[in-house]
Structures are given as C-alpha cells and as structure tokens.
Amino acid sequence: MNVDVLVVGSGGGGLMAALTAATAGRRVLIAEKLATVGGSTALSGGALWIPDNPLMRAGGIADSFDDAWQYVHGLVGDTGPATSKERKEAFLEQGPEMVEFMLSHGIELTICRDYPDYYAARSGGRSGGRSIESPVFDGKRLGSDYERLTRRLLIPSLALRAQDLRGLSNGLRTWADIKTDLAILWRTVAGRFRGRVPLTMGAALVAQLWLAAHDRGVELRTEAPLQRLLTDDRGAVTGAVIGGPSGATEVRARDGVILATGGFSHNASMRSSYQPVSSTMWTSANPGDEGDGIKAGITVGAAVAQMAEAWWMPSAIPADGSPVMSAFERSKPGSIIVDASGERFVNEATSYMEVGQRMIERGANPCWMILDARNRRRYPLGSWPARWTPRRALRNGDIVRAPALTELAHRCGIDADGLERTVKRFNGFCIDGRDPDFGRGDDPYDRYYGDPRVRPNPSLGPINTAPFYAVALYAGDIGTNGGLLTDEHARVLREGGGPIEGLYATGNCTASVMGHAYPGAGATIAPSMVFGYIAARRATGQSRTAPRDS
C-alpha cells in the first residue's frame, strides 16, 4: 500500500498531523492500534494550553510571546535537547498559528477565561485565557463513526466542559456555583430535547478533529498496531508494517511516517525498567499506551530521553481497581496530604504533576489525604457528591472513617502523634490564611479550586470536625512524558545526533518539550498537537525555515 503520509496513532497529535497533511493535498492514512479513535486525548479534559492564542486576542486578554517565553523558560528550564530553546520557541510561536489553522477549518474552540496557569504567580504567568477547549459537540454529527470514538463513561450524560469543573466541585456553595450547575443541566436537557448526543472535553475535541480530517479524505484503519518501521539502505524510514485482523500490511509513505502512538503507561516491563516507583495499575492513560512507537524508534536507532518522567496524577485506587484521579479535592478547605509519619510534604493545591513528583521523592507512595466531616458535607470527592460516602466504600477500605484523628491514624498505619501535631499546626495556619510551610494558596491556581466562601484563603480550612476521613493516594499518571528525542521540526533524532530521515514523532511517545514541568491545563495535549502540526508541515514541505530569535 502506498500513501504520502502515514500517521500512527489517532490522539490529538495524530489527528492534527493527519488533518494538516491532508489539507496540503496529500494522501494520508491513520493506523490506530485500538478499535476506537482518540487515544488518551479522548479520555482527557480536552484543554489546550496555548499562550497568546487568537481567542485571547479576540477577548481582549493581554499576552505576548515574550511573556510566554519568560514563563515557560523560567518554569521548564533547559534540561536537555527535548527542552531546547529552539523547541520551546517552536511551540510558543506555532501554537497560535495552529489554533488559527483549526478555526479556519471549522473546528470550534472556546476560551477558559478564568482558568489560571498552574504557576500563575511566576514571572510571565497568566491568571486566565491560555487554556482553550472544544465546546459541547453533537455526537450525531459523526454518524456511524460515533461508535468508533473512545469515550470515558464516568459522566456520560452531562454537557460538562473543563471550565465548569470548578463550579461543579463546589456543589452549591455560591450563586456562581449554582449558576454553573444550572448551565450544565440546561445544556444537557436542551441538547437531549433537540435530539443531540452531547460530547464534551477530550471526546469533543477528538470528534471535531476526526470529522475535519475525514472530510478531507483522511483514511483510518483501526485495530492496526504498529509492528515495525521500514528503512532503506541509508537508514531512512520509508514506511511501516501495520497489523490487522486480516494480517500485516506493508505501508510505504513517500513523505514520511509520523508517530503519535502515546507513551508506555501500560507496559509493565518498560515501567519496571525506567520507572520502578510506578505501576500500570495506577495509570489513567488509554489501554493502547504500551510503548509501541518508542520501541520501533529505538530499533531504527532513535535516541530517547526523560524516560523516568510521567504526567503524574495522584490517584485513589478503589477495590474495583479503576484509578480515580484527585484533581480538585486537594485544593478544598478541610483537607491535607500526609505521609506515614503524619507530616505534610507538599503544597497540596499545586499542579498534580508536582504533587506526584514530591510523593515519589518523599517515598510517600501511597500517601494519605485527610479530610474532616465539614469537607465531606460541602464538597464532592471523586465521583461521590457532597454528603454521600457509600457504605460499600467504607467496607472495602476505599475510604477510612473514624471518630478521632488518633484512631484514623492507627487504622491507616500513620504515626498518630505526627498526624495530630501536623493537623494542629495546619489549623493554626487557617486563622490568618497563610501556609508558611508550603505556600498553599499563594498562587492563583491554588485558590482556583478552593471555596470562595472560605476566607481569607479559599484553599485553607481547619480539620476539626469529626468524624475524620482518609483516602490513600498513589503516584498515578495520565501518561508518560519521556520517549523519542525530537528536534524543533518534530524530526526523530538518532543516538549521537542528526535526524532519522522520513521519521517524525509527537505526543507522549516523545520526550516532552515541557520537561519535568506542567505549565497549565492542556500542557500535554497542546504540545502533542502543535508538534503534530509542525511534523506534517515539515513532511509536506510547508514548514518555515526557523523559529524566531528570542
């Protein structure tokens, strides 16, 4: 089989690469390992973190390349070739260009106006606007392809956007929260009344990308895993062998192969080799995330980097074994995280990736989130609404409840004296709203998921109302972020330097341009899509000569 561009993987990065190449008039084939389309992008919140994006400009929100550079470079640093000046510049410059491209091809996006960067108080940070997302999308527009879309079924019937999560997480605490809840309900009911099937967040983004790519003639094969890359006598990649229900197919790609296969979250052997502190049991990545692209690249001489890193997400592991991500609960008043000694070790409300990193550094895997009864009355916990703690969860040990902190500590294997000292000290911080130990609430993001009715710090509230609760948290993840080393043109680099001709890569099968940091909501999907866009433009001869000189 002959095509111009072969894209392996159908997440956000793969779909963007396919759409970009098809728009240039190329014949494009997507080979997807699973039976459904969308990869981990479809299971995600679906946000894209794009500084100085066109929606910010249209909405009057000030931003600039220089401010974005100051923020990203200050946060990410230069930890190696993956985070080089050239790669960071390419992302920041061509990200807004990619958004313009999406809008020009009928893909609808909305701005998360109030969603702050994860370190917004840092130089160049912003308190809103850099994260954008798809609006609610009618799944019926996909026709028969609706059944081929990867979907997370936790809240399948609600027309819920990423920017609605703050209001939903506060229950009915403020009129703004009530307004958000009513808006979600109205969008859901009105959509159903009109005969629509609401898709939201990552599934909505993937649906829009796939529809645009399909309309431009992109071919898709599902259940088509990558088996190996094809090379010529010079070592250039000329295509790949992909599997399928009817056997293997050799696909020749004139312009190049773009790998967008995801990381290795579900590959126990690779995790054991590169990340011995992690487990495939704790990941929320899609089940096809088994390192296929990384292994294929290594076989043809590709270099790898950042293999010990992941997009860490503290997660509870209930008795049924399905990870429950702790995204907003850590910011709520009346909660802390402690290790087995009963001591805090991190700003609980900061970026989930940083919390995971501190857990690993501390050897606190698991650690414990401690809550009091006031917290449980006011705020949701995972998929449980406020005030409701299932008896089955108590029986299974998914959550532990006790009338006193000392008993809670004993039941969880926590040092009781240490926990009591920590809670007493933390409660003292809540009086004037300052956390001198870890600075919880100092950054706008810390306060974003807090409770605005709690003052002076919406993220700090005492733990003093019995009964008390504890949930074990593990170093889960939403994907690994190390892999093939690529340059600013998304070309895969060889061991020792120099690109492998004909081979490009993006997303979690590459060493991320974000290095060991997580700048804001959508900082995984955005680079995947931007470098998918860059890869396709380079492969089809559309790319610019070089990023700007910063």
pLDDT of 228-237, one tens digit each? 999 999 999 9
State residue 223's pLDDT score: 96
- Backbone dihedral angles phi then psi of residue 327, each to the nearest 5 degrees: -95, -45
Q: How do strand 48-49 and strand 131-133 relate by DSSP bridges? A: antiparallel
Classify each residue of 305-329 as buried b or exposed e, where b means 16 or more C-beta atoms within 10 Å of its C-beta: bbbbbbbbbbbbbbeeeebbbbbbb
**Per-residue pLDDT at 318:** 95
Mean pLDDT of the residues in the chain: 94
Q: Please state, in angstroms and rounded to a whole number, the distance separating the CA atoms of residues 372 and 322.
A: 25
Strands (E) across 181-309 are located at 198-199, 219-221, 226-231, 237-242, 249-259, 304-305
Q: What is the mean pLDDT of residues 65-90?
A: 96
- Per-residue pLDDT, 186: 82
Residue 226 has pLDDT above 70, yes or no: yes
pLDDT of 124: 97
Res 182: pLDDT: 87
Distances (CA, A) of 142 to 133, 203, 208: 19, 12, 9
Predicted pLDDT at 205: 97
- The confidence band for 546, taking pLDDT boundaries of 50, 70 and 90, is very low
**Per-residue confidence (pLDDT) for residue 163, from 0 to 100:** 84
Record: fold of 1-153+200-307+481-545: FAD/NAD(P)-binding domain (3.50.50)
Whether pLDDT at 395 is above 70: yes
Q: Quick one: 541 exposed, middle or buried, by C-beta within 10 A (0-12, 13-18, 19+)?
A: exposed
- Residue 40 pLDDT greater than 50, yes or no: yes
Taking residue 388's Cβ as centre, other Cβ atoms within 10 Å add up to 11
pLDDT score for 544: 60
Q: How many CA atoms lie within 13 A of 512 on its CB side?
A: 30
Give the model's pLDDT for residue 549.
45
179, 167, 174, 113: which is closest to 449 by C-alpha? Answer: 167
In DSSP terms, 491 is beta-bridged to 504
Give the model's confidence band at 157: pLDDT under 50 very low, under 70 low, under 90 confident, else very high: low
* pLDDT class of 550 with cuts at 50, 70, 90: very low
pTM of the model: 0.94
- The amino acid at residue 156 is P
pLDDT of residue 194: 78
Mutual orientation of helices 416-432 and 405-412 as an angle, nearest 10°? 130
Q: How confident is the model at residue 2 (pLDDT cuts 50, 70, 90)?
A: very high
Q: To the nearest whole percent, how much of the chain has pLDDT over 70? A: 98
Residue 409 has pLDDT above 70, yes or no: yes
Question: Does 160 or 339 have the greater pLDDT score?
Answer: 339
Write down the pLDDT at residue 497. 84
Mean pLDDT, range 74-89, rounded to an integer: 95
Q: Which CATH number fits domain 313-477: 3.30.110.30, 3.40.50.12500, 3.90.700.10, 1.10.3720.10?
A: 3.90.700.10
User: Quick one: pLDDT at residue 490?
Assistant: 98
CATH 3.90.700.10-classified regions of the chain: 313-477
158, pLDDT greater than 80: no
Mean pLDDT of 478-496: 96
Give the pLDDT mean for 93-103. 97
Evaluate whether 2 touches 254 at the Cβ level (below 8 Å): yes
Q: What is the DSSP letter of 384?
A: B
Residues of the chain with CATH 3.50.50.60: 1-153+200-307+481-545
Inform me whether the pLDDT recorded for 73 exceeds 60.
Answer: yes
pLDDT greater than 50 at residue 501:
yes
Per-residue DSSP letter, 345: -
